[in-house]
Structure 1
Amino acid sequence: MTRSPAATAAAPVLDLTLSGGELTAQLVDVPSVSGDERVLADAVEAALRALPHLTVDRDGDAVVARTNLGRAERIVLAGHLDTVPIADNLPSRVDGDLLYGCGTSDMKAGVAVQLRIAATVADPNRDLTFVFYDCEEVEAPRNGLGRLARNHPDWLAADFAVLMEPSNAQVEGGCQGTMRATVSTGGHRAHSARSWLGDNAIHKAAPILQRLADYTPRLVEIDGLEYHEGLNAVRIEGGVAGNVIPDACAVTVNFRFAPDRDQAEAEAHVREVFAGYDVAVTDSAPGALPGLAHPAAAAFIAATATTPQAKFGWTDVARFSALGVPAVNYGPGDPNLAHTREEHCSLSAVTECEKRIRDWLQG
Structure 2
Amino acid sequence: MSTTSSETLSLDLRGDVAHLTAALMDIESVSGIETAIADAVEAALRALPHLSVLRDGDAIVARTSLGRAQRVVLAGHLDTVPLPTTPGSRGTVPSSWDGETLYGRGATDMKGGVAVQLALAAALTEPNADVTYVFYDHEEVEASLSGLGRLVDHHPELLTDASFAILLEPTNGAVEGGCNGTMRFKVTTTGRAAHSARAWMGENAIHKAAPILTRLAAHEPATIHVDGLDYRESLNAVRIHGGVAGNVIPDHCEVEVNYRFAPSRSIEEADAYVRELLEGFDVERTDAAAGARPGLDVPAAASFVAAVGARALPKYGWTDVARFSALGIPAVNFGPGDALLAHSDNEHVEAAAIRECLAALTRWLA
Query: Per the shorter chain, which TM-score range?
Result: over 0.9
How far residue 7 of structure 1 moved from its aligned partner, in angstroms, is: 5.7
How far residue 8 of structure 1 moved from its aligned partner, in angstroms, is: 3.2
Matched, 1:65 2:68: no
Distance in 1 of aligned mates of 2:279 and 2:227: 32
SS in 2 for 1:202: helix
SS in 1 for 2:205: coil
Q: Which structure 2 residues correspond to residues 256-335 of structure 1 after superposition, within 5 A?
A: 256-335=260-339
How far residue 6 of structure 1 moved from its aligned partner, in angstroms, is: 6.2
Other-structure match for 1:42: 39
Distance in 2 of aligned mates of 1:137 and 1:288: 19
The structure 2 residue matched to 1:104, chosen from 103, 107, 132, is 107
Distance in 1 of aligned mates of 2:276 and 2:109: 36
Q: Deviations over 1:29-57 (max 9, x none)?
A: 01000010000001000000000100000
Other-structure match for 2:14: 17
Matched, 1:149 2:152: yes
SS in 2 for 1:18: coil
Matched, 1:253 2:257: yes
Q: Which amino acid aligns with 1:129?
A: T
Unaligned 5+ runs, structure 1: none
Other-structure match for 2:134: 131
Matched, 1:83 2:86: no
Q: Which amino acid aligns with 2:50?
A: H
Unaligned 5+ runs, structure 2: none
Other-structure match for 1:230: 234
Q: Given that residues 178 and 286 in structure 1 are in contact (C-alpha distance below 8 angstroms), is that contact kept between their aligned partners in structure 2?
A: yes
SS in 2 for 1:8: coil
How far residue 10 of structure 1 moved from its aligned partner, in angstroms, is: 1.1
Q: Which amino acid aligns with 1:223?
A: D
Q: Which amino acid aligns with 1:187?
A: G
Distance in 2 of aligned mates of 1:6 and 1:288: 36
Alignment TM-score, normalising by the size of structure 1: 0.97
Matched, 1:92 2:95: yes
Alignment: residue pair count:
358
Rate the CA distance shift 1:199–1:289 in 2: closer, same or farther, 3 A.
same
Alignment TM-score, normalising by the size of structure 2: 0.96
Q: Which structure 2 residues correspond to residues 166-177 of structure 1 after superposition, within 5 A?
A: 166-177=170-181
How far residue 9 of structure 1 moved from its aligned partner, in angstroms, is: 2.1
State the Cα RMSD in Å: 1.0
Residue identity over aligned pairs, in percent, reads 61
Q: Deviations over 1:73-111 (max 9, x none)?
A: 000000000000112522111112211010010000000
Matched, 1:343 2:340: no
How far residue 221 of structure 1 moved from its aligned partner, in angstroms, is: 1.1
How far residue 288 of structure 1 moved from its aligned partner, in angstroms, is: 0.3
Choose 153-162 or 128-137, whichever is displaced more. 153-162
The structure 2 residue matched to 1:114, chosen from 109, 113, 117, is 117
Other-structure match for 1:8: 5
How far residue 18 of structure 1 moved from its aligned partner, in angstroms, is: 1.6
Distance in 2 of aligned mates of 1:91 and 1:151: 34
